[in-house]
Amino acid sequence: MALLAYLKNLFILQLLMGFVFVVSGLIINFIQLCTCVFWPINRQLYRRINCRLSYSLWSQLVMMLEWWSGTECTLYTDQATVDKFGKEHVIIILNHNFEIDFLCGWTMCERYGVLGSSKVLAKHELLKVPLIGWTWYFLEIVFCKRKWEEDRETVFAGLDRLKDYPEYMWFLLYCEGTRFTEKKHQISMQVAESKGLPKLKYHLLPRTKGFTTTMQCLKGTVTAVYDVTLNFKDNQIPTLLDIVNGKKYKADLRVKRFSVEDIPDNEQECANWLHKLYQEKDALQEHYDKEGKFPGPTIIPPRRPWTLLNFLFWATVLLSPLIKLACGVIVSGSPLLIIGFITFLIIASVAVRRLIGVTEVKRTGSSYGNQEAKKKK
């Protein structure tokens, strides 16, 4: 075990894994670009192809969580709810406290066959991020600038296009709008007080517009809302860099299903329903802090081999020529070639680190709270 932990911390192995992810991602993005010819001819075929292409990229990140770090994910829910996973269009509401909360969500998507068709209401800045933003663009992800006056037409049009999506999709919403930090929480609770809303201890005040709009636009397509509350054993706060280093965590996800028919159609009543839901999520976090677990039965869905097999395929295809190139450079003894190859490795290392940086709490999130505070003044 000590040897395995040592190998996982070797920079060269991490760099090679990063190389596989980046290069395979660029190849996948190019193929996605080529599939655009199908859009005007057969939109559903275009979508099915891109679901599988995106799976090939995202499953490499899921592999890092499941097989490389060995992180365990336990569901706190009932069997009747699990039986519906991957068999209906749903909206997922997930708390936004951790750098790897999206990875835990993707792990559940993968285990129930909806990873390639998973959707999210994403901030517009991510569209410019190579691999991540580009892949999402081809997947018809809805991007927004978080300014409703500018987003209104874009969001309505983007959601309207998804009504006839051929694959079952899980549409993820971070209703808090940004990741939880103590500073943002203080500002958010000031806003809650100014608006006469109940204060939350473990969450930011939910932004209701995105949720009510998504419910309105996907009515008739989405059949349920899954409320998911995520936490980690022993109050651990994992980072993506920890996962890259092979550190193991134990994630607990409490899932509750709500039928769309039980959620009010009226926008204000729907917003009130969301605020009440976040009060319940807060109570769940309080329970977890005291008991170290969520209430209710547990289910541990088995991990599937496809993520590992997919990564091994790309590693075989891409690392073989890279290793041959490295050997050729060393054997040549040419200082120019050696310097060029080392420069390439440095650039690759920086690129991978920048991609990891996209998920870091201190580098992500919006200025939503500060904007609200200014409005209050």
Give the CA count within 13 Å in the CB-facing half-sphere of 297: 7
**Distance between start and end Cα atoms, the chain:** 57
- Residue 81's pLDDT is 95
pLDDT in tens, 341-357: 777 767 766 666 665 55
What 3-state class would DSSP assign to 196? coil
The contacts of residue 131 (CB under 8 Å, 6+ apart) are: 21, 22, 25, 26, 29, 57, 355
How many of the other CB atoms lie within 10 Å of CB of 208? 18
- Residue 8's pLDDT is 80
Q: What is the residue whose two structure tokens read 């790309």? A: 314
How many of the other CB atoms lie within 10 Å of CB of 105? 22
Give the chain's domains with CATH numbers. 21-305 (3.40.1130), 307-358 (no CATH)
CA 182 and chain centroid, separation: 22
Query: Given strand 224-232, what is the order of strands in its sheet?
Result: 142-144, 119-123, 170-173, 90-94, 224-232, 250-259, 72-76, 298-299
d(CA 291, CA 281): 15
Would the pTM of this model clear 0.85, i.e. be above it?
yes
d(CA 333, CA 2): 36
The contacts of residue 69 (CB under 8 Å, 6+ apart) are: 242, 243, 246, 247, 248, 249
Of 291, 256, 298, 286, whose CA–CA distance to 81 is shortest?
256
**Positive or negative CA dihedral for 133, 135, 140, 141?**
negative
- Residue 117's pLDDT is 94
Residue 225 and residue 214 in contact, taking contact as beta carbons nearer than 8 Å: no
Query: Which DSSP string corresponds to 101-115?
Result: HHHHHHHHHHHTT-S
Strands 90-94 and 298-299: unpaired
Is 274 exposed, middle or buried, given 0-12, 13-18 or 19+ CB atoms closer than 10 A? buried
- Residue 374's pLDDT is 44
- Residue 34's pLDDT is 97
- Residue 365's pLDDT is 46
Q: Say which DSSP state 42 is in.
A: -
User: 77 vs 172, 234, 241, 309, CA distance in Å?
Assistant: 18, 21, 30, 29
What 3-state class would DSSP assign to 75? strand
Encoded tokens for 191: 């806003």
pLDDT in tens, 232-253: 999 899 998 899 889 999 999 9
Q: Say which DSSP state 254 is in.
A: E
- Residue 352's pLDDT is 61
- Residue 363's pLDDT is 44
Q: Would you give per-residue pLDDT tens digits along the chain (377 residues)?
A: 677 777 787 777 888 888 899 899 999 999 999 999 999 999 999 999 999 999 999 999 999 999 999 999 999 999 999 999 999 999 999 998 888 999 999 999 999 999 999 998 888 888 888 888 999 999 999 888 777 777 888 889 999 999 999 999 999 999 998 888 899 999 999 999 998 888 999 999 999 998 999 999 998 999 999 999 999 999 899 998 899 889 999 999 999 999 999 999 999 999 999 999 999 999 999 999 999 999 999 999 999 999 999 999 999 999 888 788 778 777 777 777 778 777 776 776 666 666 555 545 444 444 444 444 344 43
